[in-house]
Amino acid sequence: MLLGCIADDFTGATDLANNLVRSGMRTLQTIGVPAAPLAADVDAVVVALKSRTIAAADAVAQSLAALAWLKRAGCRQFYFKYCSTFDSTPQGNIGPVAEALMDALGARIAIACPAFPTNARTIYMGNLFVGELPLSESGMRDHPLTPMTDANLVRVLQAQSRARVGLVPWTAVAAGEPAIRARLAALEAGGVRLAVVDAISDADLHAIAAACADHPLITAGSGVAIGLPENFRRAGLLSPRADAAELPRVPGLAAVISGSCSQATNGQVAHWIESGRPAIRIDPIEIARGTDVAAAALLQAGSVLAFAPVLFYATATPEDVKSAQAKLGVAEAGALVEQALAAIAQGLIARGVTRLVVAGGETAGAVVQALGVAALKIGPQIDPGVPWTATQGAHPILLALKSGNFGSRDFFVKSLALLET
Ligand code: ADP
């Protein structure tokens, strides 16, 4: 085991794991800190926490528990993954978690680099840009939990850290690995422990990763990870392999569950229905009336499922969602739908489904919990940020967990077709 990662949310963990797999590392994603040691033969593990917006002390405790588990698993280098928009508040949790992990690892300096140029997140002179806009002028300024009102990451990180924060400016990054190393050494000599690093291209990310080859801890978005497998290959620790994304072949049936009401998912559901594929709608009002909607839907799917994948969807237009929420309450409507879809997932697995596409972040969380999934081996990418995954154990299930706005219009069809090849 080479790389041990701690991610502060679930879809962020998948994003990172996906990047590692695409760069040739066999990667497992765990849901929370596993209770037992690892059974799988992989090169990297990403522990997915839900620590982005909890109290800083709790985030630190959970991250240290994850670190202890990853250390016991034998990891050589550690990675703290946060959002590419540096989602945090003046209380944390990026600074406090980074410092706690550094202390536990005896790291003298660590980089802080959320840049992900492929997704238009770039950093120049310490300022984070989302597309053409400074972070503080992007939609993130109005985020309900982590509003980002300052684009200057040195200031943002300093406000939540005890340690001194410095900058590796793009002029050093563009000059390449030796210049980055030199700048980091100078910062360290000057008492800086956390160094925000500029990056505007994938070439920058590769140079930064190379310069951090011997850092015990890297703190970053998912971008810097694209350069890490090369470090391990150069050190002779990772052999070039074409099978990093390999998943077991599992015979069985396929289905799609959609609880996301985002624009992209509405398009994907429409695409499925328009192409004449079987689909069953789940109505929150019907659930609230006390009908066992999950059982009814599974009965309705009945024998069709044996011949074709069936879509179960609560996905609705913004007007329909508002109308259901007005009648039932926002949280109540969400919870009722999540419970019904999770029960459908359990019923589908019991009926022989082994390939399941799930749309919606919260929905995916509910399904994964209902199925008792502890860890997922990351497989081939379907669309940017969304890979196929496989549960561990003697009878693996293949899961594609798509957060709301990800994926092309034909995502559901494309996902299932990818497994046929
Ligand atoms: P996304 O990733 O698009 O945000 P989520 O699954 O995270 O999707 O969130 C969607 C939420 O909306 C879930 O809590 C889900 O149960 C709820 N929901 C789904 N369909 C409906 C509906 N028709 N009416 C009201 N709420 C719904």
Residue 3: partners with Cβ closer than 8 Å, 6 or more residues away: 20, 25, 43, 44, 45, 75, 76, 77, 78, 79, 228, 232
Nearest to 144, CA basis, from 62, 52, 60:
52
CATH architecture of 3-234: 3-Layer(aba) Sandwich (3.40)
Give yes or no for residue 361 CB within 6 A of ligand 1: yes
Neighbours of 368 (CB within 10 A): 22
Give yes or no for residue 283 CB within 6 A of ligand 1: no
Give yes or no for residue 314 CB within 6 A of ligand 1: yes
Q: What is the pLDDT of residue 385?
A: 83
Mean pLDDT over residues 398-419, rounded?
94
Model pLDDT for residues 298-323, shown as the tens digit of each residue: 999 998 999 999 999 999 999 999 99
Atom of ligand 1 nearest to the CA of 366: 6
**What is the rounded CA–CA span in Å between residue 121 and residue 128?**
7
Q: Give Cα 75 to chain centroid, integer Å.
A: 20
Give yes or no for residue 383 CB within 6 A of ligand 1: no
Q: Please state whether the peptide bond connecting residue 93 to the residue before it is cis, i.e. omega within 30 degrees of 0.
A: yes
Nearest CA to ligand 1 atom 4: 404
The least confident of 189-193, 241-245, 333-337, 371-375 is 241-245
Give yes or no for residue 362 CB within 6 A of ligand 1: yes
Atom of ligand 1 nearest to the CA of 337: 16
DSSP state of 411: H
Nearest CA to ligand 1 atom 10: 260
Model pLDDT for residues 24-73, shown as the tens digit of each residue: 999 999 999 999 888 788 999 999 998 998 999 999 999 999 999 999 99
Q: What is the pLDDT of residue 92?
A: 93
Model pLDDT for residues 60-119, shown as the tens digit of each residue: 999 999 999 999 999 999 999 999 999 999 999 999 999 999 999 999 999 999 999 998
Q: How many CA atoms lie within 13 A of 1 on its CB side?
A: 22
Q: What are the DSSP E strand ranges found in 143-230?
A: 164-168, 192-197, 217-220
Model pLDDT for residues 251-303, shown as the tens digit of each residue: 999 999 999 998 999 999 999 999 999 999 999 999 999 999 999 999 999 98
Q: What is the pLDDT of residue 240?
A: 80
> Where do the domains of the chain lie?
3-234, 253-418
Q: What is the pLDDT of residue 387?
A: 95
Give yes or no for residue 360 CB within 6 A of ligand 1: yes
Cβ 380 vs Cβ 352: under 8 Å: no
Nearest CA to ligand 1 atom 24: 321
Give yes or no for residue 363 CB within 6 A of ligand 1: yes
Atom of ligand 1 nearest to the CA of 325: 25
Alpha-carbon distance values, 412 to 269, 308, 364, 371 (Å): 8, 13, 15, 21
**Residue 145 DSSP SS3:** coil
**What is the rounded CA–CA span in Å between residue 390 and residue 375?**
8
Mean pLDDT over residues 179-207, rounded?
98
Q: Output the pTM of the full model.
A: 0.91
| Mean pLDDT of the residues in the chain | 95
Atom of ligand 1 nearest to the CA of 259: 19
CA–centroid distance, residue 260 to ligand 1 (Å): 5
Nearest CA to ligand 1 atom 6: 360
Atom of ligand 1 nearest to the CA of 338: 16
Nearest to 6, CA basis, from 45, 57, 34, 61:
45
CA–centroid distance, residue 131 to ligand 1 (Å): 27
Cβ 28 vs Cβ 38: under 8 Å: yes
Model pLDDT for residues 127-182, shown as the tens digit of each residue: 999 999 999 999 888 888 889 999 999 999 999 999 999 999 999 999 999 999 99
Mean pLDDT over residues 323-338, rounded?
94
The answer for 290, left when phi > 0, alpha when psi is -120 to 50, beta otherwise, is left
**Residue 257 DSSP SS3:** strand
Alpha-carbon distance values, 127 to 37, 53, 156 (Å): 40, 22, 10
Q: What is the pLDDT of residue 358?
A: 97
Give yes or no for residue 257 CB within 6 A of ligand 1: no
Atom of ligand 1 nearest to the CA of 402: 2
- Nearest 10 degrees: CA dihedral of 322, 328, 332, 337? -70
**What is the rounded CA–CA span in Å between residue 191 and residue 194?**
9
Q: What is the pLDDT of residue 421?
A: 65
Q: What is the pLDDT of residue 259?
A: 96
CATH architecture of 253-418: 3-Layer(aba) Sandwich (3.40)
Q: Tell me phi and psi for residue 333, to 5 degrees.
A: -60, -45
pLDDT cut 70: percent of the chain above it: 100
Nearest CA to ligand 1 atom 12: 334
Cβ 43 vs Cβ 238: under 8 Å: yes
Q: What is the pLDDT of residue 405?
A: 81
DSSP state of 366: H
Give yes or no for residue 261 CB within 6 A of ligand 1: yes
Q: Tell me phi and psi for residue 414, to 5 degrees.
A: -60, -40
Cβ 336 vs Cβ 327: under 8 Å: no
Q: Of 362, 367, 411, which is best to mutate to test ligand 1, by the most ligand atoms within 8 angstroms of its C-beta?
A: 362
Which residue is listed with tokens 């009002």?
285
**What is the rounded CA–CA span in Å between residue 314 and residue 255?**
14
Cβ 383 vs Cβ 408: under 8 Å: yes
Is 17 a residue whose pLDDT tops 90?
Answer: yes
Give yes or no for residue 337 CB within 6 A of ligand 1: yes
CA–centroid distance, residue 228 to ligand 1 (Å): 36
Nearest CA to ligand 1 atom 20: 314
Is 372 a residue whose pLDDT tops 70?
Answer: yes
DSSP state of 162: S
CA–centroid distance, residue 28 to ligand 1 (Å): 27
pLDDT tier, 194 (very low <50, low <70, confident <90, very high otherwise) = very high
